[in-house]
Amino acid sequence: MYKRRCVAGSVSCCFLLFMLAVVLTARPSLAQDIDVTMAESVGIQTSIFGLGVGYAPDHEGSNDYEAVPLIQARINWQQGYFVSLLGNTLRANLVPSRNWHLGPVARYRMERDDVDDDRIDDMEEVDAAVELGIFGAYSGEHWLLRLTALKDVADGHDGSLVELGLGYKMPMQERGNMTLFATSTYADSDYMDAYFGIDAADAAASGLSIYDADSGFKDLSAGLAWQYNFNSKWGMLAFAKYTRLLGDAEDSPVVDDAGDASQTLAGVIFNYRFGKE
């Protein structure tokens, strides 16, 4: 039995080293939407570290895709406090509860620059954004609910976002959990104008029509996340999310003429759990 455990651990370690090589050599993601925090709600009660790779649009609304390096890190305390990093989102729970969560959240969006579509590439770049805010969540035995409010503080898009997520978790005995989830995002006019608006200068440079994008619900997503445990320590988080852009985001020439309103995000992270469940 000890020998089998050593072999399993060696194979898992090789997987993690392979993922580290992928993360270090992958092209830095230009994807605007690689939020996978609903995938975090898969029942892990221990501290964890993982590396992986995803597949995502090279900017929000694009029909060109690229590899996305992914990192998963979470430190849990017995009282329910935690600090977690998943994808491009950092969160901390300040409430001593395993079910109710409340605390600060930070998200980094890389600049929209050097994208595959020449028309979008000819437009003025959108600088990198650092979004700060607060989140509240409920995580029960099966049902999950999350509300997040964010504001850019780095003069990237200068806008604000409100996100709502709902999920249903299905335990799979000792092999992990699977979660089905849906999310939607409301964006203000600053955010919408930065990524979907086209002024006269951008229209002249790209050949796309002038367009004014107003605030509103910009997307609706549905996804699946699966934490599969190989053994007591090693596991794999696999996820897939389909997003449909809505309203002024969908109608923008950035999407309607040069991209696609249907967006897909998929990835896998190999992780190691510390401590006992």
Q: 260, 63 in Cβ contact below 8 A? A: yes
33 has pLDDT over 80? no
Q: Per residue in 180-232, pLDDT tens?
A: 999 999 999 999 999 999 999 999 999 999 999 999 999 999 999 999 999 88
| Mean pLDDT for all residues in the chain | 87
What is the pTM (predicted TM-score) of this model? 0.86
Instruction: Please give the C-alpha separations between residue 93 and each of 83, 136, 152, in angstroms, as whole numbers.
Output: 6, 9, 21
Q: 109, 35 in Cβ contact below 8 A? A: no
Q: Which residue has the higher pLDDT, 255 or 36?
A: 255
Domains of the chain: 2-274 (2.40.160.40)
Q: Per residue in 82-134, pLDDT tens?
A: 999 998 899 999 999 988 999 999 999 999 988 999 999 999 999 999 999 99
Look at residue 46 in the predicted model and tell me its pLDDT.
Answer: 79
